[in-house]
Amino acid sequence: MKKWNLIVDVAECTNCNLCALATQDEYSGNEWPGVAAEMPRHGHRWIDIKRKERGQVPQVDVAYLPVMCQHCDDAPCMKVAKDGAVTKRADGIVIIDPVKARGQKQIVEACPFDAVFWNEEKQLPQAWPFDAHLLDAGWKEPRAATACPTGAIRAVNVEDEEMTAIRARDGLEQLKPEAGVKPRVWYRNLYRYTKCMVAGTVAATIDGQEECIEGAAVTLRRGDATVGTATTDAFGDFRIDRLEPDSGTYALTIEKEGFPARTLDVAVTDSITIGTVTL
């Protein structure tokens, strides 16, 4: 049985919000019986682009993370819903019934991704229903995927075994795996949002002038284990990525032939730009 999955590439998202706008256009002012009641014009972000800034000037990067209902296979919202108000279709899509779910605010609170919004006027929990009505009408992808200009969002309708192979091939991850809810939304390059980096610049004084040092070897170690390596670019800049937040203190060593090596301690709580290290 083929089921729907959404693949989101964090590195490709530019925060243009076209996916969110297309979704708003689909549901604001429109009822889709059995799938979704009208989306309020304000306050609901069924597709929410979250933003994470890493590092400090001058080495900063910004990642954008589109978050929507993850269509969990072990969905907490289903467990707290009464009267069959939340159901999972055979194709994997989770539907919050726009009639049966009325008054059931516990569905909002049960979602570990904050993907359910409360419609005050209708007293109704609402979330992105994967555009199930469009897929049923023959669409190949939901509107968010067709609207995305960079290909950061795409939908695939495949057997679970094939999805397992795609996940392994493309290095796809789940958001909040610790929640254990088996989402059907998969993220590529999620480290850009969830992990930390250490960045800096290497320089040296040559003939009385401070010069950038290209080609210096930078190594981050904890005890005897090498955690990451980098080589400085033409501007003397380096970056070591995919570190766990709050992971403690590392030894950062910078080596370049003809200069004395430098080692300094770097405490990683969040991403950090250590500035210029002079050899």
Binding site for ligand SF4 (CB under 6 A): 13-19, 49, 64, 66, 69-72, 75-77, 94, 111, 113, 115-116, 127, 147-148, 150, 152-153, 181
Nearer of residues 6 and 254 to ligand SF4, judged by Cβ: 6
* Smallest distance, ligand SF4 to C-beta of residue 220, A: 31
Compare residues 72 and 203 and give the one whose CB is closer to ligand SF4: 72
For the chain, list the strands marked E by DSSP. 3-9, 48-56, 59-67, 86-88, 94-96, 117-119, 124-126, 153-158, 185-188, 196-206, 209-212, 217-222, 225-231, 237-243, 248-255, 262-268, 272-278
CB of 77 to ligand SF4, least distance (A): 3
CB of 25 vs ligand SF4, minimal distance in Å = 13
Take residue 211 and report the two structure tokens written for it. 């010069």
CA distance 220 to 139: 49
Please state whether beta strands 59-67 and 48-56 pair in parallel, antiparallel, or not at all (unpaired): antiparallel
Closer residue to ligand SF4 in complex, CB, 37/240: 37
Residue closer to ligand SF4 by CB (options 69, 218) is 69
With a CB cutoff of 8 Å and minimum separation 6, the contacts of 228 are 198, 219, 220, 240, 241, 242, 243
CB of 6 to ligand SF4, least distance (A): 10
Nearer to ligand SF4, 66 or 236 (CB): 66
Q: Cβ of residue 85: shortest distance to ligand SF4, in angstroms? A: 11
Closer residue to ligand SF4 in complex, CB, 150/226: 150
Pick the closer one to ligand SF4 by CB: 64 or 250: 64
Spell out the residues 6+ positions from residue 102 whose beta carbon is closer than 8 angstroms to its own: 122, 123, 124
- What is the rounded distance in angstroms from the CA atom of residue 75 to the CA atom of residue 97? 15
Q: Shortest gap between Cβ of 61 and ligand SF4 (angstroms)?
A: 15
Closest separation in Å from C-beta 31 to ligand SF4: 20
Decide: 69 and 47 in contact? Cβ < 8 Å.
no
3-state SS, 154-174, equals: EEEEECHHHHHHHHHHHCCEC
Report H helices in the chain.
18-27, 76-80, 106-110, 132-136, 143-147, 160-170, 191-194
